[in-house]
Amino acid sequence: MTQLKKQFISKPILVRYGETDQMGIVHHSNYLRYFEVARLEWLTALGVSYTSMEQHGILMPVIDANLSYKTSAFFEDSLIVHIQLEEIPRVKIKFSYEIKNQKDQVVCLGHTSLAFLNAETRKPMRCPDNFSALFED
């Protein structure tokens, strides 16, 4: 039975000034962007360029997401995203996320599911075998 290379830890993400709002904290929409940064950094670490996937006709739009905000993040915080593959990808791929700050506090938890889409037809497709193979040991 195949094992999944299920986890990845992103490089630190420094909170940008423009990501704060007038409450003095990171605007809640940015966490979806941090999740995305981690997800695509993982692909790169696995030797895959998402750009070249798109050029080969595979799109991966987010189809659902949830976020649970645990504590605020602030300008200049250094955030690390722990990302995990939830199950063997078939028609969609599910990730879970835990973002921690420089004090090792949990800032945000979340999940996203992404579909595989044929770029030409914009119809769903199965996860390509060589893609799911990336996450196996």
Give the binding range for a second copy (CB under 8 A) out of 64-72, 85-93, 99-107, 128-136. 64-72
Give the binding range for a second copy (CB under 8 A) out of 44-52, 80-88, 97-105, 126-134. 44-52
Position among 66, 102, 105, 118 found at the interface with a second copy (CB under 8 A): 66
45 binds a second copy (CB under 8 A): no
| Smallest distance, a second copy to C-beta of residue 29, A | 4
| Smallest distance, a second copy to C-beta of residue 65, A | 5
129 noted as active-site residue: no
86 binds a second copy (CB under 8 A): no
Give the binding range for a second copy (CB under 8 A) out of 1-9, 35-43, 79-87, 89-97. 35-43
* Three state DSSP letters for the chain: CCCECCEEECCCEECCHHHECCCCCECCCHHHHHHHHHHHHHHHHCCCCHHHHHHCCEECCEEEEEEEECCCCCCCCEEEEEEEECCCCCCEEEEEEEEECCCCCEEEEEEEEEECEECCCCCECCCCHHHHHHHEC
